[in-house]
Amino acid sequence: MIEKAVQYAEEKHRTQNRRSGEPYITHPIKVARIIRENKESHKINELISAAMLHDTLEDTTASEKELKELFGELVLDLVKELTTDEQEKEKLGKKEYLAEKMKNMSSWALVIKLADRLDNVSDLNSTTPEFKKRYTEETEYILKEIETKRKLSPTHKKLIKQIKEKIK
């Protein structure tokens, strides 16, 4: 399943690049690696696959039907949970939207979202000082919200600690 998710994500993100200029696929690969290094689960293959696919509904031509057929209901549900609702984001503001979303998502989706955030903060030195400042402030706000307003697992706490170390 993981290999199929890697191939699918590579195909779907083939023409996209990160802000740093590197191919976009490096991001989901790093997020999946963070999951593998930090999470133990009887559903680890599904979690890693969802990490590989977490931006496909949002940023590519992937469809829910296709993801369900290829990867099953759990992976589809996680990817849907991780997909930004642009209208809600516009209505609430980005950091407020993300904090609210992360306070209410499933534990597994939050692990993937925190791994996503950890990889993103790891790349901040390759961005502009303005973007770095804005993203760091957004991250600090989100972490404060989820730390004070939701139950966190040991894995969540470990990933939050790693994020905080990166944005010091």
State the burial class of residue 114 (Cβ atoms within 10 Å of its Cβ: 0-12, 13-18, 19+): buried
Planar angle of CA 39, 105, 5, nearest 5 degrees: 55
What is the total residue count of the chain?
168
Question: 166 to each of 114, 136, 161, how far by Cα in Å?
Answer: 13, 10, 9
Whether 58 is catalytic: yes
User: Which one from 11, 22, 58, 137 is the annotated catalytic residue?
Assistant: 58
CB 84 within 8 A of CB 58: yes
Spatial separation of the C-alpha atoms in residues 108 and 78, rounded to whole Å: 8
Which of these is catalytic: 59, 66, 96, 138? 59
Which of the residues are catalytic?
A: 58-59
